[in-house]
Amino acid sequence: MEMRRWKADTLELTRDYIRQTAWDIKFILHVRRCYWCRMEVQLSVERYLGRGLPWFFDIMNEIAYDDEEEYILERYKDMPRVRDYHITSYWEEVKNYRCGIKTSHKGTEDFIKARLDWAEKVSRADIMLATSYYRQLNSWDLNSDPPMNSDLPFL
C-alpha cells in the first residue's frame, strides 16, 4: 500500500513539474517576442535582482554566493553568470537621470538574452527527462524496484 501511495504522489509531482517547466518555456518564448515584457524583466532584474520572476532570473542567491562554486548544481555549470555581465542598478540609474547622465542597459539586456537561451535549453531537456521518467513510473508494476532518475531536480 505504501508503494502505491508513493507511486501516485510521485506521478503527481512529475506531472506538476512538467506543467511548470512547459510554462517556463512559454514564458521564455513570449519574453523573446514581446518588447514590453523584456522591459519588465529588465526592470525586475535591475531593481529587485529578479525576485518574482521564474527561477532562472532570480539572481539573489547567485550574487550572495558568487565565490562559492559548490552551490551551483552540476547541471547548471554552463549557466550565464551574473559576474560576467554589467547589470545596471536601477537606483544608480535614477541618480544618473537626475544628474542628466544617460545609463546603458546593454549588459542587462545581454544577460537576459543569454539566460533565456540557456534556460530554454535546460527546460526542454528537463521536460524530456521528466516525460520519460513519468512513462517508466506509470508502467511500473510495484513488484520490482521503482524507476529512479537522479538527473531530475525534484527527486
C-alpha cell at 39: 522591459
17-24, long-range: CB within 8 Å, 24+ apart, which pairs?
17/126, 17/130, 17/152, 17/153, 17/154, 18/127, 18/130, 18/131, 18/134, 21/123, 21/126, 21/127, 21/130, 22/127, 24/54, 24/55, 24/56, 24/119, 24/123
The predicted pLDDT at position 34 comes to: 96
Average of pLDDT values for 24-43? 95
Domain coordinates in residue numbering, the chain: 2-138
Model pLDDT for residues 61-72, shown as the tens digit of each residue: 776 665 555 555
Q: Contact, 146 vs 6, CB < 8 A?
A: yes
State the Cα–Cα distance between residues 131 and 143, nearest whole angstrom: 22
State the Cα–Cα distance between residues 45 and 58, nearest whole angstrom: 8
Flag whether pLDDT at 60 surpasses 90: no
Q: How far apart are the first and last CA of the chain?
A: 21
* Segments in 49-103 forming alpha helices (H): 60-64, 90-98
Measured in degrees and rounded to the nearest 5, phi and psi for residue 130 equal -65, -40
The predicted pLDDT at position 96 comes to: 77
State the Cα–Cα distance between residues 109 and 88, nearest whole angstrom: 10
Query: Max Cα separation, the chain?
Result: 72
Model pLDDT for residues 41-52, shown as the tens digit of each residue: 999 998 898 888
State the Cα–Cα distance between residues 30 and 23, nearest whole angstrom: 10
Average of pLDDT values for 83-106? 81
Closest by CA position to 15, among listed 152, 142, 134: 134
